Amino acid sequence: MTALALTVSQARYVNKAFWRNPARAFFTFAFPLMFLVIFTSLLGNGTVHIGSIQVKLSTYYVAAMAAFAVIQACYSNIAIGISAQRDAGILKRIDGSPLPKAAFMASRILHSVGIAVLLVALTDAFGRAFYGARIPAGIPLLDFLSMLAVGSAALCALGLAVTVVIPNTDASSPVVLGTVLPLGFLSGIFIPFGNSTPSWIIWVGRIFPIRHFAAGMMAGLVGTPFDWLDVLVVAAWGAAGLLIALRYFSWEPHTG
C-alpha cells in the first residue's frame, strides 16, 4: 500500500474508535454548544464594538465557540491523546511496526481536522438557528475556509509540539488547560474585546496564534474585516510547532 492509502486506512480506524466511544463523541460535540448557551445566556444580551462594526454578543459567541471547538479538537485532542498513547507504550510499538510513523501521525491529524470541521459546521448551524448568526458565502467563505484549514493544521502541529514538555499522562490535561485557558482570555475567546480593551492585553494576545485564528473565524461568521496577515501568523506558529515536534518528539515513554 502507498503512504496515502495507509494514512487513509489508519484514519478510518481512528475514526471508528472515536465513534465507538459514545461518551467521548457526545461530549466532544456537546462541549462547545454548552459553552455557547452558557455564555450567550449570561453575556449575550448586548453588543460590542469591534473597530467600526457593532456586533451582537450572541453572534460573537457563535464565532468564538466555533474557534474554541477547533482548538479543542486539534490542539487539545492531539496533545492529550498522543501523550496518553506514548505513556501506554503504544507509540513505542508503532515505532517498531511496519506502519510508517508519518502515516500514523497523519491519520491522527486527519481525524482531528475532520472533527474540527464537523464541530464548526454544527456550532454555526446551531448559532444560525437560535441566534441569527451568519453563514459565510462567496469570497468570505473562501477566506473563512482558508483560515479553518491553516488553523486546524497549525493547532495539530502545536499539539504535537507541546507533548515535548508533557512528562506523563497525568500532566497532559493541566498543561493543555494551562496554555489554552489563559490564551483564550487574552485572545477574546471568552470575553469579547471591544474598543475599550486595555492595549497591553491586545498586544500580548497578538503574539500568540489563538488571537489571529479567532480573528479569521470572526471575519467569516461575524463580518469583521479579514486579514491575510492573521493566516500567515497562524501558519508561522504551525511551522514552528512542526519543527519542534520533528526535532524533539519522542516515541518512547518519558522517564524520570
Q: Is the pLDDT of residue 7 over 80?
A: yes
C-alpha cell at 154: 497549525
Answer for the pair 50, 193: CB distance below 8 angstroms, yes or no: yes
The CA-CA-CA angle for residues 185, 49, 183, to 5°, reads 10
Q: Is the pLDDT of residue 20 over 60?
A: yes
In angstroms, the Cα distances linking 65 to 27, 46, 106, 130 are 14, 17, 26, 14
Per-residue pLDDT at 1 = 63
* Mean pLDDT over each residue of the chain, to the nearest integer: 89
Span 188-207, average pLDDT: 86
- pLDDT tens for residues 72-86? 999 999 999 999 999
What is the distance between the alpha carbons of residues 69 and 115, in angstroms, rounded to a whole number? 9
Q: Is the pLDDT of residue 167 over 60?
A: yes
Closest of 213, 26, 6 to residue 110, by C-alpha: 6
